[in-house]
Structure 1
């Protein structure tokens, strides 16, 4: 296990915001998880499991948290081939786009809708990432995770998931994904690549995929009610404050224009929440994970 003192969250999140944590612990092997409790006791603060930092909004200033990152990557691996059904195991720290490239190269279908989503496989599992009608949860055959005291394996039938959440079996308040095994089907490589390209360009035309952003900042309040449309109707598309802005491309993307701060981000979010509640009687819930 390696350790970095006083890491800056602004350098570890896709929205480029956030103050300093107490330390950052890099887990280089599964067994390193059993050293976390003792190191936390020595350092103080609480543990925060961090993937690629793509859905994180961290407060400014000194933060009472210890960042924990699982550093073992490796490559996606076929662990069982049943003909039409193929099981692919992938480590939590592997970037999601790398897994999708592997699927396209090997003619494995099921995850095409996730194209354009940044971040790591572990984060995608923990958030039950989804797009274009595709979610991580239904494609999981099993998950290997650390529940704070032991390493456990759960098969897909034991998982409880919904819109942007994944619950492991048992009373697990917080957990660290170590790996996931995906159940995929065989399909022509060209067909998979064609769908992925279409989805990517569709997303790029409607979302600020290259901006400093944490992705969608609010959850959709209902399947047929979009947070982005509510924010747009409330006048928040392109609305800015202190270097933060709701994207002109998609009103539910909060963007750091280069000189933003977390305090400005939180203020702009509160303003938007209040206006949506006033106009439509809807309370928006953050989709980003807030670190404070």
Structure 2
């Protein structure tokens, strides 16, 4: 297990914001997880499982957290095939884009709708990432995870998931994903690549995919109530404060324009939430994870 003292969240999150954690512990093999509790007691603070940092809004200052990142090397691999399904296992640290490329070149279909979503496999599993009507949850055959005490394996049928959340058996909500095994089907490689390319350019035309953001900042209140449309109607598309801005391209993307700060982000979010509640009597729930 590798350890880094006083890591900066601004260097570990896609929004480029956040203060200093107590330490960062990088898990290099599964058995390293059994060292976490003792090291936590020695360092003080609480453990915070961090993936690629693409869905995090971190506060500034000295944060009482110990970042834990699963950094074990490895590539996606086909681990079985049964009844028309092909099973692909990927470690938590594998970038989601790499998993999608692996599947595309082998003609394995099911995850195409996730194209353009940043981050790692572990984060995608933990958040039940989704886009274009495709979610991670329905394609999971199993998940290997650490629940704070032991390493466990859960079948896909044992998982409890919904819109942007994933719970392990027994309702466990705080866990570290070690790997996920996906159930996919065979399809022509050209068809998969064409669909992924189409969906990526569609997303790029509507979302600031290259900006310093954490993706959608709020959950959609209902399938027919888009947070982006509510924010747009409330006048927040393009609205900025202290270097933070709701994107002119998509109002539900909070963007660091280069000189933003966490306090400005929180203030702008508070303003938006209050205005949406005042106008529409709807309480927006953050999709981005707040780390403070």
Query: TM-score w.r.t. structure 2 length?
Result: 0.99
Instruction: Give the structure 2 partner of residue 88 of structure 1.
Output: 88
Instruction: Give the structure 1 partner of residue 281 of structure 2.
Output: 281
8 Å CA contact 2:160, 2:171 repeated in 1 = no
Instruction: Give the structure 1 partner of residue 185 of structure 2.
Output: 185
Q: Which deviates further from its counterpart, 264-273 or 79-88?
A: 79-88
Matches within 5 A, 1:66-145: 66-82=66-82, 84-145=84-145
Residue 138 of structure 1 aligns to a residue in which SS? helix
Shift of 1:84: 2.8
User: What count of residue pairs does the alignment treat as equivalent?
Assistant: 292
Instruction: Give the structure 1 partner of residue 40 of structure 2.
Output: 40
Cα shift readout 1:29-72 (whole Å, capped 9, x = no counterpart): 00000000000000000000000000000001110000000001
Shift of 1:82: 2.7
Shift of 1:73: 2.9
Matches within 5 A, 1:3-82: 3-82=3-82
Residue 31 of structure 1 aligns to a residue in which SS? helix
Shift of 1:85: 1.2
Shift of 1:170: 1.3
Residue 169 of structure 2 aligns to a residue in which SS? coil
Shift of 1:172: 2.0
8 Å CA contact 1:109, 1:187 repeated in 2 = yes
Cα shift readout 1:237-277 (whole Å, capped 9, x = no counterpart): 00000000000000000000000000000000000000000
Cα shift readout 1:91-131 (whole Å, capped 9, x = no counterpart): 00000000000010000000000000000000000000000
8 Å CA contact 1:9, 1:20 repeated in 2 = yes
Residues 1:256 and 2:263 are matched in the alignment:
no
Whole-Å Cα distance in 2 between the matches of residues 264 and 92 of structure 1?
A: 32
Instruction: Give the structure 1 partner of residue 222 of structure 2.
Output: 222
8 Å CA contact 2:18, 2:262 repeated in 1 = yes
Instruction: Give the structure 1 partner of residue 176 of structure 2.
Output: 176
8 Å CA contact 1:145, 1:177 repeated in 2 = yes
Over aligned residues, Cα RMSD in angstroms?
A: 0.7
Shift of 1:171: 4.1
8 Å CA contact 1:73, 1:92 repeated in 2 = no
Unpaired stretches in structure 1, ≥5 consecutive residues: none
Shift of 1:81: 2.0
Whole-Å Cα distance in 1 between the matches of residues 62 and 261 of structure 2?
A: 14
Residue 238 of structure 2 aligns to a residue in which SS? coil
Whole-Å Cα distance in 1 between the matches of residues 192 and 205 of structure 2?
A: 20
8 Å CA contact 1:54, 1:119 repeated in 2 = yes
Whole-Å Cα distance in 1 between the matches of residues 148 and 27 of structure 2?
A: 14
Whole-Å Cα distance in 2 between the matches of residues 171 and 219 of structure 1?
A: 21
Shift of 1:173: 3.9
